[in-house]
Structure 1
Amino acid sequence: MINYIIGNVTAVSDSYIILENNGIGYMITMPSSSIYAIGNMDGDIKVHTYMAVKEDDVSLFGFLTAAELEMFKMLITVSGVGPKGAIGILSSISVDELKMAIAAEDSKLIAAAKGIGSKTAQKIVVELKGKIGKDVFSSQGALTASQGALSGKRTAVHEAIDALEALGFSRSSSVRAIDQLGSLDGMTVSEIIGQALKIIE
């Protein structure tokens, strides 16, 4: 089992990178947020990996942090969530935000991820809530406040991404453009779309 690979990125696409190590190029599927971050890195990088083996296929999935890898492993234990579905979730929401959503039983936030339906999102909440550390929130009050703020912000982001896709832009390009906007506090969906279009175009 390959735990991680350190190497030089020789190619980047919307869904994967090619990481060269000792003359071998590894094709590694990654969350779009990680692919965007890699674009700003120089030199060798360390990618934490998970190898998915099927009868007719062997695939590598990669993450920039061990925390992302551990969450990925948790997600694929849920019935109906495969490696690609887990990557889709982690492309749409950070590990910390996902933990908060699970703790808050916010299945709608999880269902907003591409390829994840409401039933699967509910399964994720039910099956993983007991595995998420109790220290995600220090109190029920913090949970309630964070749930509302998180849900509103992420809903706007997802609506903006969906709108940009409808306009013909790829999901990864849309995510990268919105990431570059920085803080989205107080911005409406229309404002997010407008600012993202300036970056994409």
Structure 2
Amino acid sequence: MIARISGILAEITADHAVIDVNGVGYLAYASTRTLTAIGAVGGTVLLLTEMQVREDAITLFGFGSASERDWFRLLTGVQGVGGRVALAILSVLDTNDLSRAIASGDKAMIARANGVGPKLAQRIAMELKDKVGGIALGTGGAAPAPAGTAASDALSALANLGFRPAEASAAVGAASDELGPAATLDALVRLALRKASR
């Protein structure tokens, strides 16, 4: 299993990059978002990777962040979502937008990606709704809130009130974005409750 690659960016196209690692070129498919942020040909690059092995192919997928890779793994766990479709979704929606779309059941937003019809978008929203809470919270959906912070305490408060992890995460994430890092627990919980009830 290849978990990450680091080397010289040898080539970049609309859907993949080739990374030269000590004379060996690794082709990694990636989202438009990652390919845009990767830098210029000739520069040093580090990609987190996911390798898929099938009967007829071994394919490497590259990611600019751990949260994007986590979302890729979740998406490809849904029946009918292959690696290319997952990348199409991650090209159209950043991880925070995707988390909120799934938490709110917004299948129209998910269906904006190439290759995702209404039925598949609905299946993605339904199957992943209860899995979103552990992945994204706050700006960019980069990571769960660290324990002991106002955001993690607010998540716990909403969970104790009976909200599902996905709903609690989306509401607290939206409240955190609006109030900023200095928000108090009280303010976060009040705003998150208002956002969750919309």
Same fold, TM-score > 0.5, yes or no: yes
Task: List per-residue Cα deviations over 1:81-119 (Å, max 9, x = no partner).
Answer: 111100100011101100010011101000111110000
3-state SS of the aligned residue for 2:110? helix
When residues 85 and 140 of structure 1 are mapped into structure 2, their CA distance, relative to the original with a 3 A threshold, is farther
Equivalent residue for 1:18? 18
Change (3 A) 1:104 1:40: farther
SS at match of 2:9: strand
For residue 45 of structure 2, what is the amino acid of its counterpart? Answer: I
Q: Determine if contact 2:17/2:35 at 8 Å carries over to the other structure.
A: yes
Please report the RMSD computed on the Cα atoms of aligned residues, expressed in angstroms.
Answer: 1.7
Name the SS of the counterpart of 1:115 in structure 2. coil
| 1:59-98 equivalence runs, <5 A | 59-98=59-98
- Over 3 Å counting, the alpha-carbon distance change for 1:57 and 1:66 in structure 2 is same
- Detail structure 1 runs of 4+ shifted over 3 Å in the superposition: 39-43
Q: Which amino acid aligns with 2:62?
A: G
Over residues 11-53 of structure 1, what are the superposed CA-to-partner deviations in whole Å (9 max), with x where a residue is unaligned?
0101000001121100000001111111369732210101111
Q: Is the 8 A contact 1:3 1:49 kept in 2?
A: yes
- Structure 2 segments unaligned to the other structure (5+ residues): 134-164, 173-191
Larger mean CA deviation between 98-107 and 132-141 belongs to 132-141
Structure 2 equivalent of residue 30 of structure 1: 30
- Is the 8 Å Cα contact of residues 104 and 143 (structure 1) preserved in structure 2? no
Aligned CA distance change for structure 1 residues 82 and 103 (closer, same or farther; 3 Å) = same
CA distance in 1, matches of 2:67, 2:43: 22
Q: 1:142 to 1:9 in 2, by over 3 A?
A: same
Counting only pairs closer than 5 Å after superposition, residues 42-121 of structure 1 correspond to structure 2 as 43-121=43-121
Residue 189 of structure 1 corresponds to: none
C-alpha displacement of 1:136: 2.7
SS at match of 2:37: helix
Q: Partner of 2:176 in structure 1?
A: none
Query: How far, CA to CA, are the matches of 1:46 and 1:74 in structure 2?
Result: 22
- Partners of 1:6 and 1:84 lie apart in 2 by 22
Say whether the 8 Å CA contact 2:89–2:110 is kept in structure 1: yes
8 Å contact from structure 2 (residues 10, 42) kept in 1: no
Give the unaligned 5+ runs of structure 1: 146-201
User: Contact between 1:16 and 1:29, CA under 8 Å: does it hold in 2?
Assistant: yes
Report the Cα distance in structure 2 between the residues aligned to 1:144 and 1:85, rounded to whole angstroms: 32
Distance (whole Å) between structure 1 residues aligned to residue 195 and residue 42 of structure 2: 38
Matched, 1:142 2:176: no
| Distance apart, 1:143 and its partner CA | 4.6
Q: How far off is 1:141 after superposition?
A: 2.7
TM-score (norm 2): 0.69
In structure 2, the CA distance between the partners of 1:143 and 1:33, relative to structure 1 (3 Å rule), is farther
State the identity %: 36
Please, what TM-score do these two structures have when normalized by structure 1?
0.68
Q: Distance in 2 between matches of 1:95 and 1:129?
A: 14
